[in-house]
Structure formats: structure tokens, C-alpha cells
Amino acid sequence: MGIFGPAINNHLSASLLLIKKMLDGKMKGCPRIYFGVVDVRDVAQLHLIAMTHSQAVNQRFLATSGCCLSLHDVAMILKNKLGTAAINVPVNEIPDEQIIQAAATDVEARQTVSNLGVIRNARSDKAITLLNWQPGTAEDAILASARSILNLCNTEAGK
């Protein structure tokens, strides 16, 4: 699960670091991995609703903004919506075999291997139906992350 949304400072979560690596060009391609996406603000809202809604007692709720996305999908959102700010974002998919070979010497590649091609579609139907929770879109969450990271980089560069 990727929890995205605006960064509040330069201590970035793993999901935001992924976006930063894409924007910085430190990621050379997109492994075939898939994950659910949700905005941190929607997660917070769901927590508040669940704490105060009578039908939420002893229930568990998944927070996701629809179907899962591939890393390539995320890259294409950035490329299509951020213009020149996304010039370094990779859009080429890295073949599984290349990731598997790299795993022999690279820790990040090793951690990725077990997730190659695995699609885990979690759904928030229960939260939407029972609690009337309405998450934003995955695209909006990803773009909020990217824009806040770009703002942080510009702010730090101006110091």
C-alpha cells in the first residue's frame, strides 16, 4: 500500500521517497510492481469517522482509492500532469529478469523480486458503504505528493 499526499517536512515516508526518486531521475526504470494508493488525509478522515460511527465498533476497514496501480502507472501520471517538472521520471518498464539478476548485489532489487507482477487489489467497499467514506483519487494523492516534494526542494534550494 502506498500512502501518498502532501509532505509536511523533509522527513519523507517510503511512499514519498519513491516519488522523489522518480522526480530526481534516481530511478532508471519501473519494475513491474503494483500497489494500492491512498491519500494520508483520507486515511486520517477514515480514522476519525471510524472512531465516532456506531457501526464501526469492532470492525476493520481498508483505506484505498480504487484499484491498485503499477509503478509505470504512477510514472505516467507524473509525466502527463507535471510537465517539465517530471522530465527525469522514467517511463520504461524494467523486465523481471533484469530485476532478478540485479537482486544478487542490490538490496532494493532483492526486496522487489517477491512483488514482481503480483497484483493485490484491496477494496474499500466496506468503509464506503458502511461509513459513507469518500476517498479522493489515486491520481490526486500522487500529484499532491509530487507537488509538495517539488515545493520542499525549491524551498531548500532557496535557503
Q: What is the per-residue pLDDT for 157?
A: 54
The pLDDT tens digits along the chain (159 residues) read: 899 999 989 899 999 999 999 999 999 999 999 999 999 999 999 999 999 999 999 999 999 998 899 999 999 999 999 999 999 999 999 999 999 999 999 998 999 999 999 998 899 999 999 999 999 999 999 999 999 999 997 666 555
d(CA 58, CA 27): 42
Residue 84's contacts (CB-CB under 8 Å, 6 or more residues apart) are none
d(CA 125, CA 40): 18
- CA–CA gap between residue 110 and residue 22 (Å, rounded): 19
d(CA 143, CA 67): 17
Quickly list H helices, 53-132. 71-82, 96-102, 107-113, 125-131
88 burial (CB, 10 Å; 0-12 / 13-18 / 19+) is: middle
Residue 23 · residue 56 · CB < 8 Å:
no
